[in-house]
Structure 1
Amino acid sequence: MAPVLRAFEQAIDASPGGGGAVAIYIDGDCVLDAWSGLADRRHDRPWAAETASVVFSCTKGLLAILTHRLVERGLLDLDATVATYWPEFMTAGKAKISVSDLLTHRAGLAAFDTSVTFEELLDWERMITRLEAQKPLWTPGSAHSYHAITYGWLIGEVLRRVTGETVDALFDDIFSQGLGAEVALGAAAATPNRAHVEVGRSSFAHEPRSENEHWERLTLTLGGALPVDLVGERAGFNRDDVLVAGIPSAGGVATARGLAKVWSATVRTTDGVRLLDDATIAEQTRPQSEGQPYFAVPGPWPRWASGYMLTSDRRPLLSAQSFGHDGAGGQLGFADPKYGVGFGFVTNWLSDSRDQRANSIVHALRSVLEG
C-alpha cells in the first residue's frame, strides 16, 4: 500500500489549510487507515483517527444501499410507482413516477419552481409537502438530471413509508449499530469530532452563464436555502442545525474508515456483516442514466446505476464493476466486487471539478492491485 499512501500524502499537500483521511478494506479486512492535515485550521486542530467529516453526496450512495436492502427483503419494488408507498405524491403529474425514476435522477424533481427558505430546509414535513405539490420540470423518465438535494427527501420518504422509521434511525440501525461503522445522519452527525469544512477552490466562481447553469445551481441551493458551495464559515453543512435536520442527500458525516467499512460490507462479509447479496449488486449496478443531462452542462458527465455512481471519465473508479458515490469537493466512497474493495476518502478542503486528489489515490490502488 506504499504507493497509495504516497498518493494520499500528495493529496493532503494539495489541500493547504485542510486535511483528510483515506481507508481501504480488502476482502473484509482494513489494510489502510491514514489521516493527515488539519481538521480545523481556525483552532490549529489536527486531523485524528476519530475525526469525521461531512461527506455530502456520498450520503446518497448509503441511502441507495438501504433502499436495496428493502428490495432484497421483498418490502420494496423499484418498478412500482412512488404513489404505491406514498399516496400523496401522485398529484401534479407525478402519478406514474416509479421508485426507480427517483434512484436514477429521472423524476424531473431536481429543483423547485419557488425558492425554499432556510426554515423549510430544516423541516422534513414541510419539504415533503413541497415535493408533493411540485410539478416535474421535465417528463418523468424521459431524461435525467442530477437531483442534488431533493434526492434525499424523495428516497428518504419512501423508506420512511415502507419501514416506519426515519432515515436517521435506519443509518444508526444498519450502519452504526449493526456494522459498527462511524457513519451518522441527523443528531448523531453533529459530533464535536467532525472537521470544519472550507472551500479551497469553488466550482461556482462566476455567475450563471446560461439557463441550464441557473437551474444547476438551483438544484444545490434550492433558491437560497443553502450556499452554492454547500458550506460557509457558519453556513450550510457547517451548521449543527442543518446536520441535525438529517438531509439524506448530503448531510451524512463519516470517517474515511466508516465509509470504507460500509462499502466493504456490500461486497464482502466485514466484521460478520454482509449488507447486500451478489444478485442485488449485479441487478442494481447496471447503467441507467448516462450522457448529457436534461440541464445540459459541459461534460464529461457521471454515469448512474440504481442510486449508485459508476466509473466514468468524470469519476474513474477502480474497475468496470465499481459502484459507489462521490461527494462535493472531493469526497469518495465505493465498493469493487472484482477486488473485494471498500474505499473511503474524505477531506474538509473542498475543490472544484478539476480536483484529482481522490482519482490519484484510486489510480495508485489500481496499480497495486493489478501489479
Structure 2
Amino acid sequence: MMRIATPTPDSLLGSLGAPYLRWQAGVQVFWLIALIQAPLMARGFAWSWFGPTIATIPVFLYCYLRTFTGPVRQLPMHAIAIGLLGLVLWDINPVGLGYLLYGCMIPSYTGRLRIWLTAAGITFVVVGGLTLLLHTDQARMVVVVLGGFLGGLGNYVYVRSARRDLELRLSQSEVRRLATLAERERIGRDLHDLLGHTLSLITLKSELAKRLALADPERARQEMEEVERVARHTLGEVRAAVTGLRVGDLRSELVSARLMLEASGISLRVELPDSIDLPQATEAALSLVVREAVTNIHRHSRATDARVLVTFEGNTMSVRIVDNGCGGLAAHGNGVNGMRERVRAAGGALRIDSPPRKGTTLDITMPVADTAPRISRENAA
C-alpha cells in the first residue's frame, strides 16, 4: 500500500508537487458518501444496488490514487477503468455517473489538449448513446457533459500553468547557479592573478632583506618597507575582489529577471551601478523585492517593456521598477505587503503608483553607506 501511495518521479505529485493537487485529491473522494447515501435514502437498502456499488469503490480508489501517484502516461488507462465503473452502475445507481465525470476529467491532467478532448468526446458519445438507447433522463447526460467539460477544462488550465511555473522556476534556479559559478570562477582568477605575482614579489624581497640584514641594514630596512607597502596594497585589492561576491546576488537576480520577462515577450532595460557596496542583509532584502516585483510584471501586468533603475544620492539608494502594463496593482496584496515589510526591515520605504491601464511604478529608497558608483546601461534585446 505504501508503494502505491508513494508518488513516482513522473507522476502528477512527483513532478509538480503542488499543494493544490494534494488538497484536491483528498477532498474529491468524499463524493463516495453520496454514492451510498443517495440511493439508500431514495430506495432503501437492497443488495441489487448496494453490492455492485460497494464492489466498484476499491477499484475506483486504486485508479484514483494512481492518477496522482502513478506515471502520467498511465492516466488514460485509469480514466477508462473509472469510466467503465460508471457504465456498470448506469442503470443500478444513478449517482454512479460520478465515475463517468472522473473518467472524462482525469485525462485533462496530462496537460495535452488532444488527449483530453478525445477522452471527453468518447465519454459524451457513450453517454448520449446510453441515454437514447435506454431512454434515461436526459438531465444525467447534461450533468456528465457540462460537469466533465468544465471540470476537465479547469484541471487542464491549472496543470498547464503549474508546469510553466515549474519550468520557469527551474530555469531561474539554473541561471542563478550558473551566475554564481561564473562569479566564483572570476573571483578565483582574479585572486590567482593578483596573489600569484604579489606573493612571489614579497617572497623575493623578504629573502633579499634577510641576506642584507647584516651586510647592509639600511638597504634591508628599505626592502622590508617595500614588502609592507606591497602587502597593504594587496590587502586592499583582495578586499575589493571579495566584495564582488556580495554584489553577485543582486546581479544574478537581475539576470533571472531578464530570463523571466524575455520568456514572456517583455523587454527589460537595466541601469545598474558598476560597483555597489551594500550590507549583506540589505542586498538580500533588495534582491527578494526585485524578484517579487518582476514576478508580478510577468504574471499580471500584460506589459511589453520594463525598466529597473538603481541610483545613489548621498547616503540613499533608490530603486525604480517600471512597466508599461495594465496597472491597477493592489497596494495591500500579499506580495506587496511582503515587499513593503522587507524594505521596512532594511530601514527603507516603498511607494507604489499603479493607475489602471497606465502601468506600474515601484519606488524603493534605502539608506546605505556613502558611495560614488558609476552607472552602466544594459539594454535588453
Q: TM-score, normalised by structure 1?
A: 0.21
Pick the structure with greater CA Rg. 2
Determine which structure has the larger helix proportion and give its number.
2
- Which protein, 1 or 2, shows the higher relative CO under an 8 Å CA cutoff with sep ≥ 6? 1
Q: Hey, which of these two has a bigger chunk of strand by percent? A: 1
